[in-house]
Amino acid sequence: MLLHPSPPLPPPPRIGASQLGSRSPNRRRPPHRPLRRPRCHRPPRHRAVHRPFPGANCRPARLRIQCHRRRRKLPTSNRRLLQGDKNVSDESRPDGLRKRAWLTTKLLRRLLRFLAFVKFVDVTVTGREVIPKYGAIIVASNHISMVDAIFLWGALRRRAVAVAMAELWTMPVVSWLLRNLGHIPVVRRNADSGRDAVAASESVLNHGGVLLIYPEGRCVSPGDTEPYKPGVAKLTMSTGVPIIPVGAIGTNKVVPLKRDLEGAKKFNRNQKVWIKFGQPIDPADFDSWEQLLAEVRRSIVALVESETV
């Protein structure tokens, strides 16, 4: 007897969700995806904010602020004084504010800081915080040794241009450093050289630089007095730039003047040196340059005669 296979059964009918209810026991809800961190590109404004699931805490404005932290820029005036106006070429700036002077200053100050770190000469600097980070200033100091400019220039944290006697430009190594640093030479008792030095100093101040001036005009031995030259006061009154007085103590014993040797060492590294910065002097508080010059002298003398710790 032949057995014929039975025909296949029809598939069971599909039961819709409407017949079983909105929540079918055989249907699984897909797991919720975690909120992904938005990409660092700013989405178009016309695109709606996607929420991966209802109630997701999407704060596009806050996330954009966190992802796009803008770098804080200095004001235009400070940026121009700090790194120079981009519209001004490097050749049009004073020599002391060019890139070559910046590189030379950086290398020499690293050497001076290393010597100060190893106590080659014990140097103490006080009141340096009065030097502003930006803007033009004039630093006026007493002059008692040939190495005053080295200690004062090394104590600053900004590039500085000094007005020095022209005789230094005749020394082989010193002249090379002075030219690279862009210092201003001045010939004593020469009116034309004085006018050129004043013009170069005004150019440095107009570009937001730091100018170092010794109002006495020459090195003064201990116990002697020298009248201050009116150039620093007149320059301050004409430009409106404040003056910061500085008192140097002990440099005349590290490297004494030739007329003050009298059997002493030509170089005494065991002598301690103090560089003291005073409060800025605003030229707007004075009616004449004579009053301003007298105040500068009084401030420097007070710093030199103050107690050293």
Pairwise CA distance, residues 159 & 77, whole Å: 18
H helices present in 27-163, as ranges: 60-67, 76-83, 99-117, 148-155
| CATH fourth-level superfamily of 88-305 | Glycerol-3-phosphate (1)-acyltransferase (3.40.1130.10)
Determine the 3-state secondary structure of 35 from DSSP: coil
Check residue 85 and give its pLDDT: 46
Indicate the helix (H) or strand (E) that contains 249.
strand 243-249
Check residue 245 and give its pLDDT: 94
Give the model's confidence band at 258: pLDDT under 50 very low, under 70 low, under 90 confident, else very high. Answer: confident
Check residue 305 and give its pLDDT: 87
Determine the 3-state secondary structure of 113 from DSSP: helix
Quick: pLDDT tens for 69-111.
444 444 444 444 444 444 455 667 888 888 888 888 888 888 8
Indicate the helix (H) or strand (E) that contains 164.
strand 160-165
Check residue 267 and give its pLDDT: 84
Identify which of 241, 247, 229 has the alpha carbon closest to the alpha carbon of residue 293.
Answer: 229
Domain boundaries, the chain: 88-305
Hey, which bits of 44-98 come out as E strands?
Answer: none
Q: How many CB atoms lie within 10 A of CB 92?
A: 12
The whole-number average pLDDT for the span 119-136 is: 90
The residues pairing with 161 across neighbouring beta strands, listed in sequence order, are 211
Identify which of 180, 186, 149, 184 has the alpha carbon closest to the alpha carbon of residue 166.
Answer: 186
Check residue 56 and give its pLDDT: 52
Residue 243 has pLDDT above 90, yes or no: yes
**DSSP letter at 281?**
B
Give the model's confidence band at 298: pLDDT under 50 very low, under 70 low, under 90 confident, else very high. Answer: very high
Quick: pLDDT tens for 47-61.
454 555 555 555 444
Residue 192 has pLDDT above 80, yes or no: yes
Quick: pLDDT tens for 162-191.
998 888 888 888 888 888 888 999 888 888
Q: How many CB atoms lie within 10 A of CB 249?
A: 19
